[in-house]
Amino acid sequence: MGFTPDGFPLVGKSSMADGLYIIGGYPAGMGLICYTAKLLSEMITGKEMEIDLDPFDPDRFDNLNIELPERYNYAILEDYLGRL
């Protein structure tokens, strides 16, 4: 199970590598993976798709700058758990 900043999965062709297609980032598990795989196979083979996959484009976060903390402070977690 994964997540994306907007909560939508990643479905479609990626610009990271030639011929790379991605299905992932489902916030609530993979209950729709079979249907999504069908849509992606239609995209790859050039068939008409039932829905537009543009909102799920894997490249939609190319310009997003995410800054992660250098290290998680476990003292905060230890303090919190000690209060339970």
Q: What is the model's pTM?
A: 0.68
Question: Residue 50's pLDDT is what?
Answer: 86
> Would you list the domain boundaries of the chain?
10-82
Give the model confidence (pLDDT) of 3-45 as tens digits.
Answer: 788 888 899 999 988 999 999 888 777 778 888 889 999 999 9
What's the pLDDT band for 2 if we cut at 50, 70, 90?
low
**CB of 45 within 8 A of CB of 73?**
no
Quote the CA–CA distance of 79 and 81 in Å, as a whole number: 6
Question: Residue 45's pLDDT is what?
Answer: 94
Quote the CA–CA distance of 48 and 16 in Å, as a whole number: 24
Quote the CA–CA distance of 5 and 41 in Å, as a whole number: 25
DSSP SS3 for 22? strand
Quote the CA–CA distance of 73 and 33 in Å, as a whole number: 36
Question: Residue 62's pLDDT is what?
Answer: 86
**CB of 4 within 8 A of CB of 27?**
yes
Question: Residue 30's pLDDT is what?
Answer: 72
